[in-house]
A = this chain, B = another copy of it.
């Protein structure tokens, strides 16, 4: 029996498939708005838009903090645009530290793949929650709260973090305070830190003013 399948599919549904928005791969060169980047035309989307290999290798941890954060946010991994999820790779040398920071736009879940990590966060009531996480352990950091991860063990460590947004943001406390031109007097007035401390950290982190 001849089955006119083209006939079936064209009649069952309108043919405007090109407009279906199951996803919205970011077109980083187009306008963007509060909900994210504009979408690539569906006809030009391929599987490679949904796959990202940039987390396969360790970030460079030969630095002051002996650690590295490698993001797979929408700017690096356009396939997650609009989908409310993204990732990052965290590499720690011995003694490595991801300094105190917040993600203004997302909660984070971290899973330890190798080594051990001491991680914690502080809530709005100033209560501290921290624990040493071993391989396979998971910890969640609620949105917008100060948190940190340090490797206090004798081995390197590796973890992956997931975020509840394609664009979680990342505000590292020391860079925010000491890595820009915020006048020292304003820093001191609003943090109660001593002038010498502020100037010492500005010297390290490139701050002026």
Contact = CB atoms under 8 A, between A and B. Distances in A.
A154 interface: no
A168 to B, nearest CB: 9
Contacts of A194: 197, 200
Contact of A191 (B64, B145, B174): B174
Question: A4, A9, A76: which has the most chain B beta carbons within 10 Å?
Answer: A9
A182 to B, nearest CB: 5
Given A12-B69, A13-B69, A77-B138, A126 B175 contact: yes
A148 B8 contact: no
B76 A14 contact: yes
Interface of A: 3-9, 11-14, 16-24, 27-28, 30-39, 42, 46-48, 50-53, 55-57, 59-65, 67-72, 74-77, 79-87, 97-100, 102-109, 111, 113, 118, 120-131, 133-146, 148, 150, 160, 162-164, 167, 169-177, 179-182, 186-187, 189-194, 197, 200-201, 203-206
Given A35-B36, A50-B140, 10 more contacts: A14-B76, A31-B39, A52-B137, A77-B140, A80-B107, A126-B176, A128-B180, A128-B182, A130-B182, A144-B144
